[in-house]
Structure formats: C-alpha cells, structure tokens
C-alpha cells in the first residue's frame, strides 16, 4: 500500500502530524520504536501557549498548574516571582505522549508501536521506508524521531554542531515537601556553565534536572547535577538513586529541514528554545505546519514539500533566534542577569507573557537590553567585560 504520509516517531511532533493529517482524511502510517505508554526523560512543564494551540485539552493528566517560579543563584538568594495567571502545566510525559498518540489513532492514523525506522530511500514518486517490521512506501516521509534522528542526519544531512546535555531524576516525595513548591517551579542559575537547574513539582514526585551546553561542561554534567542536588535545600535528605541523561539539539537557522519528499519536525529539526530548552511548543507548532504543507501538496495545490522551509522560517525562526540572543546573554553573564532579576522582578512578568503566548521573545530581549543600557547595569556590564576597573565603578 502506498500511504500518503509515513511518520517516524510519535512524540508530540510526530503525533501532531499524524493527528492533523488523519483528521483531513489522508492515509497515515506512524511508527515509534517504543510501546506506549513509555517513560520519557523530560522536565514535563508545558507552557500555556503550547496548550492553546492543541485542538484538544489535556486537563485530565495535568499534575500541577504553574503560576510562577522561585529563582536562585547557586542555590542562594531566592526570589519568588508569582503571577496571578497560569503560565504552564506540569505533566507526566508518559501520560501526555500516550494521550497524543491515542488522539492520532482516534483520528484514523495507523499506529505501529515497537517498530524502529532504520532507513529510507527517496524515489521519483515515493519514499521507501525500511523498518524493523519490513518495508513501506509513502508519498511523504516525516522525520519525528527526536534529537538523534536517523532520517534527519542521513537524508536531510542535518548536523547539530552544538547541543545541550541534560540529566534528570524523578523522585517520589512526601506531600509536605511538595507543598513547598505548590503551583510554582524552581530554577537555579549559576550552578552550571551555560545552563540552569530545575525542580518541577508533580502529583507525587519532583522532577529534578540540570542542562547545559555540552562543550561548556566537558562531560561533567552528572557531577554538576550531584553538586546541585547536594546544595539545594528542598532536596535535603533525598537519596537520588537513578538519573537519566539525554541530549537537546541546539537551534540552527542555517539548516534546511525539508528536501524532496522528506521533512523534519520538532527535535529532529532542531526546533528547540535555545534559552530554556523547551521543545514541546515547537514540536506541536512545526507538526501543524508540516501537516498543512503535506495535505496541500497531496491535494495537488501549487505547493512543494520544500516550501515547508520558508513557512517555518517565517513563523518559528524569528522567535528561536530572539530566544538564542536571550540565552547567549544570560548564560554568558549569569551573575549580572541575577542581580537585575533581584532588583527588577517585574521583568520576569514580561517573560511570563512570552510563555503565555501574549508577547514575543523579541520584545522580551529588547526589554532586557534596555535595562542593561541604564546605570548602574551599563557600568557593571562594562566592568564584567573588562572595560572598567572596580575603581572606575566606585568613581
């Protein structure tokens, strides 16, 4: 059988493409190497803007509504910045991904779990997909197989020159400890070079993790994680027996994520927020854009699969590029960033508006830069960069 589309991977990106295409009446076949529900390493905090673009709700699996965060610098100097409105939702990825997969199945997509895509060959009129369950044919192939995508690397020739590494542990805890972080998340800056640590409350556990740019930690991300967990007060007395590691692709605007009859979505396309590493919103958004292009192409409209490049560049890249500017500055000068945050906590409300989908990263970046250009931050910035001495600053 010749399918309209085959999707490799059933995370949020792949499940979204499958759902959207099947809903339009296309013949869709989707594979995932795991059998659902399956454990997925992830902090599990979904932004309000991600919830808003989903065509169905996931209220039944929300474990904690989030209204703000407690920020610290090297596990000290806590600043609690809580909004009156929800900014996100903590969920269990095992349940969330399974829900999305079931929605795709309910829309009519054929789902094959426990089947690994191992390769593909593009022909003039179709793509042949090689799997652990045999060979299949489709008019279009969607790479949704994550940061280490076989399809993206071998067929689209995507190369993540930079990437982040992360370590996380899911720790069952008592209700009293959970209550200390009720309706808020915890984020620490300065505990790791070019990265941050987090503690996210769930119904019966804490998701504890740390992430940083790989080249800055020199293979020592687990050591930074242990040091953070040892210092952080809310984790005192907890024995972390098991931790999981994974890689986070770093956004690269120079790459083309569609070619011929093949395109990539989500992590497989390196569409991840370069500031905080959030990828679920961009997985869902890119999946929806991919479905629009594929359905139009199969419907004989005057559009090519490669037009997906142009559409994503227009609708997603500007935000990721601005997020990259924010991340580059914050992680280069974490101490200065934290001093500004302590003195002007209202600045974080501007960021919360980005998470809600009410504002943009570009606006947030411009606001941060305007603060830096003013005294005393302008002088402190010059001091950090070596353009001033401490004597100049006192004078």
**For 31-45, how does the pLDDT look when each residue is reduced to its tens digit (9 = 90+)?**
999 999 998 888 899
Q: At what angle do helices 12-23 and 93-107 cross, to 10 degrees?
A: 20
What DSSP element (H or E) covers 46? strand 45-47
Q: Is residue 394 scored above 50 in pLDDT?
A: no
Average pLDDT over residues 264-284: 95
pLDDT of res. 49: 96
DSSP 8-state symbol, 160: -
pLDDT digits (tens, 9 = 90+) for 210-242: 999 999 999 999 999 999 999 998 898 888 889
CB atoms within 10 A of CB 123: 10
The overall average pLDDT reported for the chain is 91
Q: Quick one: pLDDT at residue 197?
A: 97
This prediction has a pTM of 0.93
Look at residues 233, 253, 390 and name the one whose alpha carbon lies nearest to residue 322. 253
- 196: tokens are 């941050």
Which one of 3.20.20.70, 3.50.50.60, 3.40.50.2300, 3.40.50.2000 gives the CATH number of domain 2-39+93-159+253-315?
Answer: 3.50.50.60
- Cα 143-149-151 angle, rounded to 5 deg: 55
CATH number for domain 45-91+162-249, candidates 3.30.9.10, 3.30.750.200, 2.40.30.10, 3.40.50.300:
3.30.9.10
The proportion of the chain whose per-residue pLDDT surpasses 90, expressed as a percent, equals: 78
**Fold equal for 2-39+93-159+253-315 and 45-91+162-249:** no
Q: Which stretch, 39-43, 253-257, 381-385, has highest mean pLDDT? A: 253-257
Compute the Cα dihedral for 247, 205, 237, 186 and give only its sign. positive
Residues 6+ apart with CB under 8 A from 164: 195, 211, 212, 213, 214, 247, 248, 250, 277
CA proximity to 101, closest of 12, 3, 217, 229 = 12
Measure Cα distances from 136 to 151, 182, 306 in Å.
15, 48, 22
Sheet with 163-172, side-by-side order of all strands? 76-82, 68-73, 184-189, 195-201, 205-213, 163-172, 244-249
What's the pLDDT score for residue 376?
A: 60
Are 170 and 240 in contact by the 8 Å Cβ rule? The answer is: no
pLDDT interval class at 390 (50, 70, 90): very low
The ranges assigned to domains in the chain are 2-39+93-159+253-315, 45-91+162-249, 320-394
Predicted pLDDT at 48: 96
For residues 382 and 153, the model is more confident at: 153
pLDDT band at 371 (very low <50, low <70, confident <90, very high): confident
């Amino acid at each position: 059988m010749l399918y309209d589309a085959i999707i490799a991977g059933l995370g949020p990106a792949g499940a979204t493409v499958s759902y959207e295409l099947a809903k339009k009446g296309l013949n869709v076949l989707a594979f995932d190497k795991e059998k659902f529900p399956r454990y997925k390493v992830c902090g599990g905090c979904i932004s309000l803007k991600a919830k808003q673009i989903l065509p169905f709700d996931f209220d039944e699996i929300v474990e904690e509504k989030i209204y703000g965060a407690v920020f610290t610098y090297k596990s000290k100097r806590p600043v609690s910045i809580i909004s009156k409105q929800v900014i996100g939702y903590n969920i269990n990825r095992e349940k969330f991904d399974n829900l999305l997969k079931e929605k795709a199945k309910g829309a009519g997509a054929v789902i094959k779990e426990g089947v690994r895509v191992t390769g593909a060959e593009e022909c003039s009129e179709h793509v042949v997909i090689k799997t652990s369950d045999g060979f299949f044919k489709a008019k279009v192939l969607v790479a949704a197989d994550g940061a280490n995508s076989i399809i993206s690397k071998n067929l689209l020739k995507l190369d993540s020159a930079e990437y982040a590494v992360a370590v996380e542990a899911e720790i069952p805890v008592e209700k009293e400890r959970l209550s200390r972080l009720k309706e808020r998340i915890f984020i620490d800056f300065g505990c790791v070079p070019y990265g941050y640590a987090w503690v996210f409350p769930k119904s019966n556990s804490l998701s504890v993790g740390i992430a940083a740019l790989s080249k800055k930690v020199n293979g020592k991300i687990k050591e930074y994680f242990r040091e953070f967990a040892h210092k952080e007060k809310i984790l005192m007395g907890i024995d972390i027996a098991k931790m999981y590691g994974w890689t986070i692709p770093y956004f690269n605007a120079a790459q083309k994520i569609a070619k011929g009859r093949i395109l990539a979505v989500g992590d497989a396309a390196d569409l991840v927020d370069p500031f905080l590493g959030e990828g679920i919103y961009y997985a869902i958004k890119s999946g929806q854009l991919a479905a629009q292009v594929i359905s139009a192409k199969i419907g004989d409209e005057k559009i090519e699969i490669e037009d997906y490049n142009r559409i994503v560049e227009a609708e997603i890249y500007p935000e990721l590029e601005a997020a990259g500017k924010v991340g580059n500055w914050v992680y280069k000068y974490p101490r200065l960033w934290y001093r500004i945050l302590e003195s002007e906590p209202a600045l974080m409300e501007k960021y919360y508006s980005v998470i809600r989908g009410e504002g943009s990263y570009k606006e947030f970046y411009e606001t941060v830069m305007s603060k830096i250009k003013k005294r005393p931050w302008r002088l402190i910035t010059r001091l950090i960069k070596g353009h001033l001495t401490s004597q100049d600053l006192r004078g």
